[in-house]
Chains A and B, each alone.
Chain A
Amino acid sequence: MPLNENGEYRPLIVAFCCNWCSYAGADLAGNNRLSYPADVKIIRVPCSCRVNPTFVLRAFQRGADGVILCGCHPGDCHYTSGNYYTRRRMALLFSMLDYLGIEKERTRVEWVSAAEGAKFASTMNDFCKTVAALGESKRLEDLRCKK
């Protein structure tokens, strides 16, 4: 189990970031030297609504402890309405995952614009902390994917 220098659990986080806002937000966080845990693995997607529910499940299968989706603020999607669909889809999916016993704190949707580098960093810090407190996620894990 990977631990940080304080002996706390370092969770593996998968962050799906839309190309037009949140990925740029992450970039800005970097440019501004705002730190967030290296445990966040960013996957760039053209739009938040590109994220098929299977991607989220797959991330957990391959050992993610938490999955976060970031997209443009509602109303600002580069493709006009993509994130409105994301919002419905993920509200239902995350509620279902919680219903199956995959704690709702392990999943999150956050709207981060290209100008919100600080928000990106603080969101990731906060999400990592929350997931770290829950510990490893084994409930959707596939043993064959264990390194």
Chain B
Amino acid sequence: MQEITRDQLLRKAKELLQNGTVDRVMGWKKGEFDYDLTPAVFKTEGDLSEFVYSDFCGANFSKYLVSETRADGKVLVFLKPCDTYSFNQLLTEHRFDREKVYAVGIPCDGMLDASKIRAAAGDFTTVTAHGDKLIVKTLFDGEVEADRNAFLPDRCVNCKSKKHVCYDELLGTDGEVLDSHRFDEVEKLESMTADERFAFWQGELSRCIRCNACRDVCPACTCEKCVFDNPKSGVENKAAADSFEEKMFHIIRAFHVAGRCTDCGECSRVCPQHIPLHPLNRKFIKDINTFYGAYQAGEEVGTRAPLTNYSKTDIEPKDAAERGKTHA
């Protein structure tokens, strides 16, 4: 169950609107169902009647600030701990004006993954949390009680930090940077043979429909003109015509965010094909940690990304693939 309730967020939003600290509020609106909430901007206190908050508010708001801060006035944004890393990374890259944002940190107890619930309980309409228990109202089987922890998305199971690295104000209590198992999956893949790895990725990536959602949602992908929109790139927006294009797309996508990925997990969350994209990003994070020393994008503002930096004693590429595995 989340420590902070809708009422607390609403009260804070109204207070900041009233005293003129902010002019707009970023929040969530109900979608077709309780679990498909949509990020929304509220301009007046009246609008806020549509404001919702639940275990399905997983969207990382940081990237929205790039376009949201173009308008005049200040915007209120609620940030989960993991979102604050992306927030910092965007500041490092000068993607929005810090002065135009009022950031309120909110604690997070892990969000819920609607597809996991659906897989276990069937189609459902609403979910209510009671402590660690969930009451899932299904379409056909009435109410089902379930253990909340079983329905956390992978990114929350392996959450890297419950600590906010940046905020103007904090609601509730701050947590700690966690000792997560986020590289377990990467290590499992690394221990396979090249043939097995290829078979795994071929199976996953060939399902890609090139909707570009993973790129669009990524707080590290904020270029105005993206290489994938260039018809001359050979990998522009189109469904994969053959096996090469999807691999090319995924390697380039992951490479472009190498050293800048904040491991927020949004790419995997939005993929309509449920392709596990985080093991690609995390491979780069893990390699960077192994080769060039521990580095997490977004931990601080103003750090130099590993790929825009070098040392005279860097590892040679021929040793890299091996060392990437053994020094795990």
B284 at the A/B interface (Cβ < 8 Å)? Answer: yes
Within the assembled complex, what's the spacing in Å between the Cα atoms of A139 and B241?
15
Do A142 and B201 contact each other (CB < 8 Å), given the known contacts A54-B252, A95-B287? Answer: no
State whether A81 touches B310 (Cβ < 8 A): yes
Is B199 part of the binding interface, using a Cβ–Cβ cutoff of 8 Å? yes
Known: A87-B316, A91-B316, A108-B317. A100 touches B251 (CB 8 A): yes
Q: Contacts of B320 on A, CB cut-off 8 Å?
A: 91-92, 94-95
Query: Within the complex, what minimum Cβ distance (angstroms) separates B283 from chain A?
Result: 5
Q: Chain B's nearest CB lies how many Å from the CB of A121?
A: 19
Contact digits for B298-328, partner A, Cβ 8 Å, 1 yes 0 no: 0000000011011110111110111010000
Chain A 74-117 residues near chain B, CB threshold 8 A: 74-75, 81, 84-85, 87-104, 107-109
Residue among B190, B244, B248 with max Cβ neighbours from chain A (10 Å): B244
- Range of interface residues on B (Cβ < 8 Å): 35 or more
Q: What separation, in Å, do the CA atoms of A143 and B284 have in the docked complex?
A: 29
B292 at the interface (CB under 8 A from A): yes
Residues of chain A within 8 A (CB-CB) of B314 are 84, 87-88, 91
| Given A96-B283, A99-B283; A84-B312 close (CB under 8 Å) | yes
A interface, over-half SS? helix
Q: Decide if B291 is an interface residue (CB 8 Å cutoff).
A: yes
Which residue among B199, B254, B291, B316 has the maximum number of chain A CB atoms within 10 Å of its CB?
B316
Report chain A residues within 8 Å CB of B248: 54, 57, 61, 140
Docked pose: A13 CA to B288 CA in angstroms: 28
Q: Does B258 contact A (CB under 8 A)?
A: yes
Structural contact, A101 and B199, CB atoms closer than 8 A: yes
Shortest C-beta distance, A92 to chain B (Å), equals 6
Number of residue pairs across A and B with beta carbons under 8 Å?
115
Q: Of all chain A residues, which has the CB nearest B292?
A: A88
Assuming A88-B310, A94-B320, A96-B251, is B244 touching A141 (CB within 8 A)?
A: yes
- Contact (Cβ within 8 A) B197 A101: yes
A140 surroundings in chain B (CB, below 8 A):
244, 247-248
By beta carbon, the residue of chain B nearest A100 is B201
Given A100-B201, A101-B199, are A53 and B252 also a contact pair (CB < 8 Å)? yes
Distance of A9 from chain B, by nearest CB (Å):
18
Bound complex: CA A61 to CA B246 (Å): 12
What's the Cα separation between A58 and B245 when bound, in Å? 10
Closest to A109 in B: B317
A139 contacts which chain B residues (CB < 8 A)? Answer: 198, 247
Number of interface residues of A (CB under 8 A): 37
Q: Tell yes or no: B194 within 8 A of A by CB.
A: yes
Q: B residues within 8 A CB of A96?
A: 251, 254-255, 280, 283-284, 287
The reply to whether B255 and A92 contact each other, CB–CB distance below 8 Å, is yes
Q: Is B132 an interface residue (CB 8 A)?
A: no
A144: Cβ under 8 A from any B Cβ: yes
Inter-chain contact B258/A92, CB cutoff 8 Å: yes
Q: Are B190 and A61 in contact (CB under 8 A)?
A: no
CB–CB A101/B317 < 8 A? no
Q: Which residue of A lies closest to B283 (CB)?
A: A99
- Closest A residue to B244 by CB, please name it: A142
- Least CB distance from B24 to A in Å reads 40
Choice from A88, A107, A142 contacting B242 with Cβ under 8 Å: A142
Q: How far is the CB of A127 from chain B (nearest CB, A)?
A: 11
Taking A96-B283, A96-B284, A100-B247 as given, write out 5 further A-B residue pairs in contact, using a Cβ cutoff of 8 Å, ordered by the A residue number.
A84-B314, A91-B287, A93-B255, A100-B201, A101-B199
Question: Can you pick out 29 interface pairs between chain A and chain B where the beta carbons lie within 8 Å of each other?
Answer: A53-B255, A57-B251, A57-B252, A61-B244, A61-B248, A88-B307, A89-B307, A92-B287, A92-B307, A92-B320, A93-B251, A94-B320, A95-B324, A96-B254, A96-B255, A99-B186, A99-B189, A99-B283, A100-B201, A100-B251, A101-B194, A101-B198, A104-B321, A104-B322, A107-B317, A108-B318, A139-B247, A140-B247, A144-B242
